[in-house]
Structure 1
Amino acid sequence: MGIVRVSGRRWRLAADGEDGTAQSETAQLTEGETLSFGILADPQLGALKQNKEWTEELDRLRQGIAEIRQQNPAFIIVLGDLVQAFPSNEAERPQRELETKDLREALQSLSGDIPVLIVSGNHDLGNAPTREHLEEFQRDWGNDYYALDLGLCRGVVLNSSLFFNPSNAPEEAEAQFEWLKEQLDEAQAEGKRVLLFMHHAFFWSNWDESEDLGLLRIEPLNLDCPKSHFHIPKPQRDRLRDLIRNSTVSYSFHGHLHDNVVLHGSDPFIEQVVTSAIGYPLGAAPAGFRMVHVTATGEVQHRFVALSEGTSPRYGFARS
């Protein structure tokens, strides 16, 4: 199967012999069955050596795909930051094209018959996405937001860069918000638990946190980065919070932080799950992936799996 280009804002985990389009019959879990899928975050080819080469990131991506396949997943979902070079940097356009080519070949050739779903990140669209960059992503990868049917759960993939900074594409950002509201209303009416998938996390510690959270020291890059770069700004976060408060959302899965963090938000309750980068881990957690299991009754379990010995170095991440 390989990379899935989602269209029509919906992908269904199809019954055997179907193609996963919005028209095909959704595969249903029977009593005692569990649907399992793998999460990869931030392959970000080119990050380690600033677009000069990306052998290490590519090796870890290949290793991650191989180890996920051993778990017999129904699909793999990649939570954004596919490559390092930004779309707005014309000087790096040749590197971006090569990084994308290598990433696509790895995902396509190594996944076998397992579908691979793509989520957009800030390196894929820019920190303030433009309409042109949204269109480029859609041409390359398909819809930037869409729904997944997962038995008694509904997955909702979101373009979190439009929440982070909608200033260059306000109409597209508003369209996504209205679509999200429709998805949450439908899931609630159907009695389905909702799992969100998006690159940026909602918060560092809680829904109410401010924008001024200080700096994050990224030792390998000799860089101090505002912590606010790693969460949704409060005005947009509050608006999303109001939606989620009146919904059946219970889990959200993220990348972006390059670390492995699970937090519980209250009012509304949500389990926010951030998975360490497969390409360039920066925290206490090594490179790895996450396995998620959804039962026939809609219960959700997940666990982080570090890559096998020798393939998952830690690079160092200082929290302040």
Structure 2
Amino acid sequence: MSEKGDIFLRARGRTLDAFHEEAELQWKSPFYFIQGADPQFGLMKAWALGDCNYGGDEWEEEIRLTEQAAKAINKLNPKPKFFVLCGDLVHGTVWRENQTKDLKKVLKEVDKEIPLVFVSGNHDIGNVPTSEAIEEYRCTWGDDYFSFWVGGVLFLVLNSQLYVDSSKCPSLKLAQDQWLDIQLATAKQRMCKHAIVFQHIPLFLKTADEEDDYFNISKPIRQELVDKFTEAGIKAVFSGHYHRNAGGFCNDLDMVVSSAIGCQLGEDTHGLRVVVVTAEKIVHRYYSLNKLSSEGIEEDLMDMIKQE
């Protein structure tokens, strides 16, 4: 069930209404999903003006790009299992309400048979989140952390901002930590074919021992999470935040950093990542919106499935 007026099935009760766990616990066959990040309505103008704290009173270009993403996803055949947006849904500042309204209007165009999965970013709940900001996000987009099952695979959605600065809401970080330990215990017991994490801020951009940066999790917390994920058998962590493609491996853990639907801070194109889950592997490729819009990817999907 969704809240009155919702255009999507929200995450609540720490799970996602779109998928019924009992029907999704068993592995059946390979499938794929689409990952996007940082539509961030309002950032493109703010970045161009050099005023990211207060700029961003226009977002027509972000609307166009997100509409292009929705149309590209809708034409995919077969349909992806879901479409996950890894945070910074809007840029925020004083125009948050209108940005949110416009983003929801665009996302309404995504095929209703393709569930939407939302991940909170720092611009969604604040660089130093408060209980009030997180509650506002929950009312708008659904739970800030939750789990769900698809085809025998366990997916974990985390509020990564609690790992950056939880000074104004320490009890919420503790609650997520306790919840995460329970979820990882399930993964460790191999009750799932794979376990995959979604969060906004990457654990690291290239290597697990890199220096602290605005775009990664600080070393002590990073190492704690990497150790927990590795021990539990997590195969991949998908994130955004960097507005460029990046990532790397730490042992068998694949840290995947996807560039933005919206504002680019590097040389990458506006795009989406296609992620194929097979019995043995998780294979992914980043595509520009133009390529996804103009060309079929059925052959690519088959190639990725064959990599099993």
TM-score category (smaller protein): 0.7 to 0.9
1:233 to 218, 224, 232: 218
Which residue number corresponds to residue 300 of structure 1?
Answer: 282
Which residue number corresponds to residue 80 of structure 2?
Answer: 73
Partner of 2:43, secondary structure, is coil
In the TM superposition, 1:22-171 aligns within 5 A as 25-26=23-24, 28-30=26-28, 33-50=29-46, 51-71=56-76, 72-86=79-93, 92=94, 95-171=95-171
Please say if residues 152 and 298 of structure 1, whose CA atoms lie closer than 8 Å, have aligned partners that are also in contact: no
In the TM superposition, 1:263-274 aligns within 5 A as 263-266=248-251, 269-274=252-257
1:5-38 deviations in Å (ceiling 9; x for gaps) = 11121237xxxxxx5355x6327553xx322111
Aligned partners of 2:162, 2:206: CA distance in 1, in Å? 22
Q: Single out whichever of 278-287 and 121-130 deviates more from structure 2.
A: 278-287
Equivalent pairs counted in the alignment come to: 276
The gaps in structure 2 that reach 5 residues or longer are: 47-55, 294-308
Q: Single out whichever of 105-114 and 174-183 deviates more from structure 2.
A: 105-114
Please say if residues 8 and 116 of structure 2, whose CA atoms lie closer than 8 Å, have aligned partners that are also in contact: yes
Partner of 1:292, secondary structure, is strand
Aligned partners of 1:190, 1:27: CA distance in 2, in Å? 12
Aligned partners of 2:180, 2:15: CA distance in 1, in Å? 12
Aligned partners of 1:52, 1:140: CA distance in 2, in Å? 21
Please say if residues 10 and 21 of structure 1, whose CA atoms lie closer than 8 Å, have aligned partners that are also in contact: no
The gaps in structure 1 that reach 5 residues or longer are: 13-18, 87-91, 212-227, 312-320
Please say if residues 153 and 298 of structure 1, whose CA atoms lie closer than 8 Å, have aligned partners that are also in contact: no
Q: CA deviation at 1:298?
A: 4.8
Aligned partners of 2:41, 2:284: CA distance in 1, in Å? 26
CA RMSD of aligned residues (A): 2.1
Partner of 1:156, secondary structure, is strand
Q: CA deviation at 1:208?
A: 2.2
Aligned partners of 1:247, 1:27: CA distance in 2, in Å? 18
Partner of 1:124, secondary structure, is helix
Partner of 2:71, secondary structure, is helix
Aligned partners of 1:69, 1:275: CA distance in 2, in Å? 20
Change (3 A) 1:180 1:164: same
Partner of 1:238, secondary structure, is helix
Q: CA deviation at 1:142?
A: 1.1
1:134-192 deviations in Å (ceiling 9; x for gaps) = 11111111110111212232111000011111111111011111111110111121343
Partner of 2:243, secondary structure, is coil
In the TM superposition, 1:168-247 aligns within 5 A as 168-192=168-192, 193-211=194-212, 228-247=213-232
Aligned partners of 2:161, 2:112: CA distance in 1, in Å? 30
Partner of 1:185, secondary structure, is helix
Aligned partners of 1:80, 1:167: CA distance in 2, in Å? 21
Which residue number corresponds to residue 304 of structure 2?
Answer: none
Q: Percent identity?
A: 35
1:244-272 deviations in Å (ceiling 9; x for gaps) = 23111110100000011131123xx3111
